[in-house]
Structure 1
Amino acid sequence: MTRTVLVPSSLTREAEDKREATRKLGYVARAAVVFRVDRLVVFPDGEGDTGRFGDGFVDTVLRYAATPPYLRKEAWGRRDELEYVGVLPPLRVASRTGSGSDDSGSLRQGIVTEVGADDRVRVNCGLQHPVSLPVPPAMRVPAEGERVTVRVTSREPVRARLTDDTPPGYQVTREDLATALAREDAGVRIAASRYGEPLTVDRLDSLVERVHAGVTVVFGSPERGLPEILGVEPGEATVPSDAAASAGTRDDADDFEPRAGFDLWLNTVPNQGSEVVRTEEAMFATLAALTLE
């Protein structure tokens, strides 16, 4: 199962200053980690992105937040976008461990600090010292400064190896909305909007069952909801219709509308008491419901 969340580049447009914008992104990062989001995608909102805090501010801060603390200084150095990262809440990503003899140990991110001539590399992966590791025959030799995944099976003495496993936490990418929705592993494609169909207790069972195979949830920004970002009427352009998606007819030409690409519009905060639900608040409400067992 792949869980993907999309947020717009205009996510922080209403923040008073860079500090508040950074704090907001910290809550988005927390939601992604708490609910085991695999991929966090920032999609461009050209008209809504004011660029107040620099181009790429949103994805840079989200990438920084996803970087383990022991690698942040080496991986990022000093950048204007990261001026207030001290306000980010700790993510405390749970280690991903294996149960078999070949996959035991915990996964950690590392940075290659030196490339040797014998297909060995030195990697800083948060242990007491950088470790020298052989590059498996099936893997490309990484370049100096490149991030890698290390499986650590013992700290004393140190036993570790390079692996192509995905490290714990979320991965940040930047791509347009249509591309993200067209991915083969997109699963059920949901537009989270106050104009969507209200999520009810009766509907939750069938919805949770559908998203277990994979889900992509798209959020707007507080001042620009998805209808405005997409240039559609609220609830319009559900692609295909929810009924068709439930029946497994996603590819039927009669149900296809290229402007959006969603299987359904969903309101996960029905009867909201505030005029505006912030994106980070909507993420917690939506993902909490969709990740129930």
Structure 2
Amino acid sequence: MTVSVLVPSSLTREAEDKREATRKLGYVARAATIFRADRLVVYPDGEGERGRFDGGFVETVLRYAATPPYLRNEAWGMRDELEYAGILPPLRAMSQTGSESDGSGSSRQGIVTEVGPEGRVRVNCGLQHPISLNVPPKMEVEEGERVTVRISSRRPVRAKLEDVPLPGLSIERTDLQAALGREDAGVRIAASRFGAELTVGRLETLAGRRERDGMTVAFGAPERGLPDILGMDEDTVDALSRWDGDDGDGVEPTADPGFDLWLNTVPDQGSEVVRTEEALFASLAPLSLRE
């Protein structure tokens, strides 16, 4: 069961400066981590981007935020996009994601610092010193590559490389339709104030589908919601939110880029504008509830 969160490259379009843009991205990463998202995807919205805070900036800051603190200096060094990285709130991911687990039997990220002979490498994985590990058969690694290290004991140190995806929140950059078309996308939800209102009854149905198939939730940008980004008018979104797949009410889903449901997760919002980072918290909290 995979949970994916999709945000546009125009996410920081209203930020007055780099510091504010960085702060905003920090809360987006926090929301994704708190609600155990596996994947945070940045999809392109070139028309909505403003100035220097484009998709490259958004992706870099999010990737840095998702990097375990013990690897940040070695993995990133000095970069202009990270000038205000110090204000990013710590993610403090639980041991299930591995990014900050200190216990035995945990998986964590490491960086290969040296490739030696006879299939051995030295890896920095946040212990006191880099450790020497055997490379699993059929696994190829290079210096500077990030790898997954399984730690079974810290005193004495016993660990091994695992040929599996890196633990923790994954940051990706791809187009919206590709993200929605993944086999593990699960139920695909568009968060929009023009969608169907989230109710207790609808939430019960969604909870069962999420636990069985996983979930992908897409968000828009400040002053530029998903309908604007996709070039859809409000009437089309309203019709899509009412389409039930049986009686033809509304419009056919071909007018939609691939969502199963357009959902208003703040149905009686008291503010004229709900910021994207606020929408993530407001949406992922109820959608994470179990049956």
Equivalent in the alignment of 1:5:
5
1:2–1:214 CA contact under 8 A, matched in 2: yes
Deviation digits for residues 32-77 of structure 1, max 9, x if unmatched?
Answer: 1101101110000010012423550001000000000000000000
- 1:150 equivalent in structure 2: 149
Contact 1:240/1:256 (8 A) holds in 2: no
Task: Report the Cα distance in structure 1 between the residues aligned to 2:96 and 2:256, rounded to whole angstroms.
Answer: 38
Residue ranges of structure 1 left out of the alignment (5+ in a row)? 99-103, 248-253
Distance 2:55 2:165 in 1: 27
Distance change in 2, residues 1:97/1:30 (3 Å): closer
Paired AA for residue 9 in structure 1: S
Q: 1:233 to 1:258 in 2, by over 3 A?
A: closer
Task: Answer whether contact 2:97 2:167 (CA < 8 A) is retained.
Answer: no
**Does 2:278 match 1:281?**
yes
Partner of 1:129: 129
Distance 1:97 1:41 in 2: 17
Q: Deviations over 1:230-277 (max 9, x none)?
A: 000126267797523xx8xxxxxx944165211110000011000110
| Equivalent position of 1:243 in the other structure | 244
Q: Cα distance, 1:202 vs. partner?
A: 2.3
- The equivalent residue for 1:19 is 19
Residue 194 of structure 2 aligns with an amino acid whose one-letter code is Y
- What TM-score comes out, normalization by structure 2 length? 0.91
8 Å Cα contact 1:242-1:263 kept in structure 2: no
Cα displacement (A) at 1:97: 8.3
Q: Which residue is 2:223 aligned to?
A: 223
Q: Which residue of 1 aligns with 2:172?
A: 173
Match of 2:117? 117
Q: Which residue of 1 aligns with 2:267?
A: 270
User: Which residue does the alignment assign to 2:191?
Assistant: 192
Number of aligned residue pairs: give it: 279
Q: CA deviation at 1:3?
A: 0.4
Matched to 1:118, the amino acid is E
Shift of the 235–42 alpha-carbon distance from structure 1 to 2, 3 Å rule, reads farther
Q: 1:290 to 1:220 in 2, by over 3 A?
A: same
Identical pairs, percent: 69
How far does residue 106 in structure 1 lie from its aligned partner after superposition? 0.3
Q: Is the 8 A contact 2:243 2:252 kept in 1?
A: no
Residue 29 of structure 1 contacts residue 65 of structure 1 at CA under 8 Å; is this kept in 2? yes
> In the alignment, is the contact (CA less than 8 A) between 1:240 and 1:262 conserved in 2?
no
Distance 1:97 1:190 in 2: 24
In the alignment, which residue of structure 2 is the partner of 1:251? none
2:105 is the alignment partner of 1:105: yes
Partner letter of residue 272 of structure 1?
Q
Quote the Cα distance in structure 2 between the aligned partners of 1:282 and 1:53: 20
Question: 2:75 aligned with 1:71, yes or no?
Answer: no
Which letter maps to 2:266?
V
Q: Which amino acid in 2 is paired with 1:190?
A: I
**In structure 1, how many angstroms separate the alpha carbons of the residues matched to 2:167 and 2:141?**
20
TM-score by length of 1: 0.90
Structure 2 CA distance, aligned partners of 1:59 and 1:97? 20
Instruction: Give 1:201 shift.
Output: 1.6
The residue aligned with 1:250 is: none
Amino acid at match of 1:229: I
Partners of 1:268 and 1:235 in 2: CA distance: 19
Distance across 2 between alignment mates of 1:235 and 1:288: 28
Aligned to 1:37: 37
Runs of 5+ consecutive residues of structure 2 not aligned to the other structure: 99-103
SS in 2 for 1:78: coil
Structure number with the higher helix fraction is 2
CA RMSD for the aligned pairs? 2.0
